Amino acid sequence: MRISSKTIFDNGVGQLGTLQSSLAKTQQQLATGRRVLTPADDPIASARALEVTQSQSINTQLATNRSNARSSLSQEEVALTSATQLYQDVKELVVKAGAGSLTNKDRESIAVELEGRLQDLLGIANTADGSGGYIFSGFKDSIPFTLNGTGATYQGDQGERTLQVGSSRKISISDSGTAIFENNTTGNGRFKTGADPANYDRGGTGIISPGAVTDPSALTGHQYAINFTVVPATPGVPKVTTYTVMDLTLGTPVPPAPDPADPIPYTSGKSISFDGLQFEIKGDPADLDTFSVDPSDQKSVFETMTDMLKALRQNGEGAAGQARLTNVLNQVNSSIDNASDNLLAVRASVGARMKELDYLDSSGEDLNIQYATTLSNLTEVDTIQAISLFTQQQINLEAAQKSYKTLTGLSLFNYIG
């Protein structure tokens, strides 16, 4: 078979080109640290690497979301901590205002201080989130609370903003103002006691306690009225004070008198018990004085503080005035306690969510390591193996170049003279 010089030259050039391409590819792999430079190098690894890269990008975005969620929850925690301290200050004012030695002027000074606390609480409730909205406004961007004559009006909604912080986990990054500042139970959480404001005009000095539940299974959830009757003393006959308990829901008297309609002798400080609840009335109620027992409901802390302000600015001197003030302060004290408990429950929820973010961060970091390892196995070059291959290819190319040079010198024309 005849082989022309042109064929020799073409084959040699082709082989050199192939070797140079292989050497260049290996050099590029070493330079980039990647084994798969184009999808054609390893289609299966390229497809798998694309999936892993997308998952890695999602994991990175979730980490960003968790950082944003932690920032929002930290802002809420700061606000709730401030509110907790403010509630404690209000309780101290309640105790201070209840002192019998204070004059109306002294109580006015406390009222002025309480007004400052009310404005402070309004500022906390209207805390901005740093992005044009408010922490406690729900989904709305409007200012959450504005003061009115009876407390404050909530202008937000019940929404809780959420962020995707895990592949299958969304977390609330805010709480509505209603849940924190308005949904506070009154009384002892099951029922609330109160005194008729007209007791003061009748000169009554009865003070009713917040009471407690003695038998939860016996509670009816009804409204009750404790009505007093006082027969004045006459020569040789002492004053007689009695009371009856009426179930206002059913419109019937309540035992435990032998006959439910019979009045019950009143003794100051003696426990009054019926239908699973118990409380005491102290002092000297006047004729026709009335006290109420109603199921607990929800009350805004702003309304509670406003009620206290109004009570402090009424006449609190004299036995009747002191009794009226004490009855209101007892209600305020219970409501502030319940508001504090509610606030602590929300803070616990915020803390639990922040703790969960820490766990998710740890899990996300582990996933990133796993994704990086997988990508390395799929696309990164084995440096030692690549260097060995590069050296071998370099030797092959040099040998091919030398042999080609020698081969191209063996031309027939060199011997024709």
Q: What is the pLDDT of residues 23-82, one digit of tens each?
A: 676 677 667 766 666 665 667 776 777 787 888 889 899 999 999 999 999 999 999 999
Token output for 282:
């102290």
pTM of the predicted model as reported, rounded to 2 decimal places: 0.79
Q: How many residues does the chain have?
A: 417
Closest listed residue to residue 158, CA positions, set 127, 131, 121, 183 = 183
DSSP, res 285:
P
Please provide residue 204's backbone torsions phi and psi, each rounded to the nearest 5 degrees. -70, 145
CB 73 within 8 Å of CB 173:
yes
Please provide residue 144's backbone torsions phi and psi, each rounded to the nearest 5 degrees. -65, -50
Closest listed residue to residue 180, CA positions, set 60, 300, 87 = 300
Which helix (H) or strand (E) segment holds residue 278: the answer is strand 277-282
Query: Residue 389 contacts by C-beta under 8 Å, 6 or more apart in sequence?
Result: 26
pLDDT 10s per residue in the chain (417 long)?
A: 566 666 766 676 777 677 677 667 667 766 776 666 666 566 777 677 778 788 888 989 999 999 999 999 999 999 999 999 999 999 999 999 999 889 999 999 999 999 999 999 999 999 998 888 899 998 998 899 999 989 999 999 988 899 999 888 899 999 999 999 998 999 999 999 999 999 999 999 999 999 999 999 999 999 999 999 999 988 888 899 999 999 999 999 997 656 666 789 999 999 999 999 999 999 999 999 999 999 999 999 999 999 999 999 999 889 999 999 999 999 999 999 999 999 999 999 999 999 999 999 998 888 888 887 876 666 666 667 767 766 777 777 677 777 767 766 666 556 665
> What is the tens place of the pLDDT at every residue in 287-318?
999 999 999 999 999 999 999 999 999 998 89
**What is the assigned CATH class of domain 41-186+300-380?**
mainly alpha
> What is the tens place of the pLDDT at every residue in 242-262?
999 999 999 999 976 566 667
Distances in Å between the alpha carbon of 167 and those of 54, 161, 162, 170, 356?
13, 18, 14, 9, 14
Token output for 244:
């009856």
